[in-house]
Amino acid sequence: MIVTVTPNPSLDRTVELAELHRGEVHRALSGRLDPGGKGVNVARALTKAGLDTIAVLPSGRAPGGRLNGLLDALGVHAVTVPIHGATRSNITLVEPDGTTTKINEPGPVLTAEEVAEIAEQAVARAPGASWLVTCGSLPEGMPGTFHGDLVRRARSGGTRVAVDTSGAPLVAAVAACPDLIKPNHEELAELVGRPLDSLGDVLAAARELRAGGVGAVLVSLGADGALLVEESGEYHAMTPPVTVRSTVGAGDATLAGFLAAGGAGPDALRRAVAYGAAACRLPGSAMPGPLDIPLADVRLHPAPDAALVL
């Protein structure tokens, strides 16, 4: 079983446009509504792959009820914590060349009691789980140490913890020494405080984090695939160029693929990159399933080319 935690879930509406013109009226080519938030997306992909998954998240007012209904329709087992504020809604505008414009609401303001209950529901389900995965932005009222606190509490009970967040919450989570972090290129550069212009720069940053106590670093690199630095070695994997329909949720699919394949080693990295590429081919924040995964397209490099310019 894998437990995901999403402190700031959302209703994600995606609208496809022929072309975006600021200040003009547009006629949409298509639209869709998905349950969203990083941990929710990971849970959706894992559920689609047939893995036993529990998604822990706050749920507020009518949007929260709509989100719960969408998760139920997808077969995702959700543990929801009622909150006074309303679950946020996000809007994504996608053009035919894959250009994506996102408008994310800040989310509700949580009380200290609501924050504590979300954490308790997650920690209560961690024993016996293969992973606890805590992901995404933090709503107002939630301390910046939330992800890091979950790392400490779950790991103290013997559960492996993966973290996918950014900014100050990622700094706090890294200080708690999680078993896995999954930043993208930009988030990793922000974390280490310097530009990462080549694959060698990314390797060096990941090695530093491992030396500081992080178990493994999985870095999503967009069109350049993903890099894994862990105890067993360092690996880079990528696919040939894909026709991008939407990049929303591709990083979440990458993490889900990695965990679905065991959460360690080059085979898990291959699955991660395949999941990420498959997600880019799908509309909105749709998560890929086993039939969408082109594993044969993934090229694995056991000796990453440090000179590769990103």
Q: Within a 13 Å sphere around the CA of 65, how many CA atoms are in the beta-carbon half?
A: 3
pLDDT of residue 98 exceeding 90, the answer is no
**pLDDT of 135-193, one tens digit each?**
999 999 999 999 999 999 999 999 999 999 999 999 999 999 999 999 999 999 999 99
**pLDDT of 279-289, one tens digit each?**
999 999 999 99
Amino acid 280: pLDDT: 95
**Is residue 54 classed as helix, strand or coil in its secondary structure?**
strand
Confidence band for 73, pLDDT divided at 50, 70 and 90: very high
- Edge-first strand order for the sheet with 10-16 is 30-36, 10-16, 88-94, 100-104
Average pLDDT, the chain: 96
Amino acid 45: pLDDT: 98
CATH class given for the domain over 2-301: alpha beta
Amino acid 294: pLDDT: 86
DSSP 65-115: HHHHHHHHHTT-EEEEEEESSPPEEEEEEE-TT--EEEEE---PBPPHHHH
Domains of the chain, by residue range, sit at 2-301
Q: What is the number of H-type helices and E-type strands within the chain?
A: 9, 14
252 is catalytic: yes
Token pair in block for residue 191 = 């974390």
Amino acid 140: pLDDT: 94
Give this prediction's pTM: 0.97
**pLDDT of 189-244, one tens digit each?**
999 999 999 999 999 999 999 999 999 999 999 999 999 999 999 999 999 999 99
Catalytic residue among 12, 149, 252, 292: 252
DSSP 111-170: PHHHHHHHHHHHHHH-TT-SEEEEES---BTS-TTHHHHHHHHHHHTT-EEEEE--HHHH
**pLDDT of 242-293, one tens digit each?**
999 999 999 999 999 999 999 999 999 999 999 999 999 999 999 999 889 9
Amino acid 127: pLDDT: 96
Closest CA to 57 of 11, 105, 10, 7: 7
